Homo-oligomer: A and B are copies of this chain.
Amino acid sequence: MTTQVAGETLPVREVGERRLDDYAPVVGEEAIQELRSLALPLLGKRVLHINSSPDGGGVADILAALVPLLNDLGLKAEWRTIKGDALFFDITKKMHNTLQGEPVAWDRSMWDTWLRCNEQNAQMLDPKHDVIIVHDPQPAAILHYLNQRHRNGATKWLWRCHIDLTDASPEIWRRLQPYIRPYDAAEFSMEGFINGDYTGPRTFVCTPGIDPLDPKNLPMDPGTAREILAVFGIDCDRPFMAQISRFDPWKDPLGVIDAYRLARAQVPGLQLVMIGPIAADDPEGMTFFEKTARRAGEDPDIHLLTSFKGVGDREVNAVQTLAAVVVQKSIREGFGLSATGTLWHGKPVIAGRAGGLCLQVIDGETGFLIDTTEECAEKVVMLLKDPALSVKLGERAKEHVRKNFLITRYVRDSLLVYRELLEENTGQGSADPPS
C-alpha cells in the first residue's frame, strides 16, 4: 500500500510490524542474539530505503521484511518509493534490460526523461537520515540532484544494485556510472555482478534472502496443495516436474519442454507444470508465452499456469510442495529467488549454470547444475527414479538456504554495512558532478 504524504514528499510504503523473535524457531536463538548485539551501535539510527516499486518482484519482497525487522532491532527504518509517470517507468524498464545485456535502442530524450524525474524525486526527499539506500538504477540519480541542492555530509549513501551488470551495455553503463560515483558505497548481490568497467565507490556484496515467515515460503499442507492444483487439471497421483519462472527466453521454457519430453520417454505419465507471471501489458512476454504454448502443443500433460488463470503465490507454493522435481533451466539469471523458495521447501533444484543459481545449487549436494537439455533430462530422470536421493538432497538444500539465504542473514549483512559506513572517517564520497 502506498501512502502519499501531502506536500512534496516521496510516498511512504507502509510495512507493518515484524518481530525478530518470531524467527528464532527457524534460525535459532543464537542468530537472533547476534543480530541484536550487532544492532546496538545503530539504535535510533535513521535508515531510509528508496526503490521504484511498492509491490511485486524480489526487491519489494526483501524490503517488506528487512525494513520492519530493522525497526524491531531499534533502528528507525523507512521505505519510500519514487514517483514517476508511465514514460519514466517504460524507460527505466529499458534501462534495466540494457544493463542486463539486452540491446535496446536508446536516445538522448530518454536520459533527459530519466534525469528530470530523478530531479523531481530529489526535491521530494527529506535527506535527514543517517543512511540512505537507493535500490537499482531507477532512482540512482537522486543523490546527484541532492548534491546540487545541498548534500548533508553526515548522511551515508549506498547504491544497492540487484542487477547482474556483467553484460551491461558499455554505453549505458558509461552514462550511468557518473551518477553512482558520488555514493559512499555500492552493494551487489554477487561479486560476479560487478561490471568490469566499474570505477565507482567501494563495494559490498550481499546476497538476497527470502523471508521464511512470508506465507509463500511457509510449508503448505499437501492436501491443500492437491486441491489447489486439481483446479488446473494437474493429476497429483502422477509425478510432475515444474519450472517456476516468467515466460522469457532467458528462462528457456522451450528447453524445459524439450527436457520434459526426453524425460517422459523414460518415465511414462510424467507431467510438466510451468508456472509464472505474465504481464498483460508486456507484449514481448505475451509473444514468448505464445511460443511456449506452441512448443507445448496439445500435450494434455503440459500445464501452463499463468497470471490470467488467477495464479499467484498460493499456486507457486502448491507446486513447490508437490512437484516431484523442480528445474530452473535459466540461461541467464539474476539471483533466482524462486529457486531459493524451492530449496527452502526441501526440494533439490536442477538449475542452469547461471548467476545466483550457482551459489544456491551446489552440484550433487543441493541439486544439480546442468549445461544442456539432455543433461537436464538425465538429472530429472535420476531424481524421479531415486526418491531417497531426492529427499537427501532436499534436506541439504533446506539447510543451505537456512544458513545462507534467509532474510535474517540479509539483515545481518545490512547491519554490518551500515556500521562500516557510519564508522568511516573518510567523510563524504566524491561529490563531483557527473560529466
Contacts and interface: CB of A to CB of B under 8 A. Distances in A.
A7 interface: no
A293 interface: yes
A294 interface: yes
A258 to B, nearest CB: 12
A283 interface: yes
A293 B308 CA distance: 15
Nearest to A296: B294
A294 to B, nearest CB: 5
A283 B298 contact: no
Contacts of A286: 280, 306, 308
A304 interface: yes
Nearest to A283: B308
Contacts of A281: 280
Interface string A235-258: 000000000000000000000000
Task: Kindly report how many copies of this chain are found in the complex they form together.
Answer: 2
Given A280-B280, A280-B281, A281-B280, A298 B294 contact: yes
A69 to B, nearest CB: 36
Contacts of A290: 289, 293, 304
Interface in A264-290: 280-281, 283, 286-287, 289-290
A309 interface: yes
A16 interface: no
A306 B290 CA distance: 11
Interface in A291-308: 293-298, 304, 306, 308
Contact of A293 (B294, B306, B309): B294
A310 interface: yes
A295 B299 CA distance: 10
Given A309-B283, A309-B287, A298 B298 contact: no
A-B complex: 7 closest residue pairs judged by Cβ atoms: A280-B280, A286-B308, A293-B293, A297-B297, A283-B308, A290-B293, A293-B294
Given A283-B308, A290-B304, 13 more contacts: A280-B281, A280-B286, A283-B309, A283-B310, A287-B308, A290-B293, A293-B293, A293-B294, A294-B294, A294-B296, A294-B297, A294-B298, A297-B298
Interface of A: 280-281, 283, 286-287, 289-290, 293-298, 304, 306, 308-310
23 contacts: A280-B280, A280-B281, A280-B286, A280-B308, A283-B308, A283-B309, A283-B310, A286-B306, A286-B308, A287-B308, A287-B309, A289-B290, A290-B293, A290-B304, A293-B293, A293-B294, A294-B294, A294-B296, A294-B297, A294-B298, A295-B298, A297-B297, A297-B298
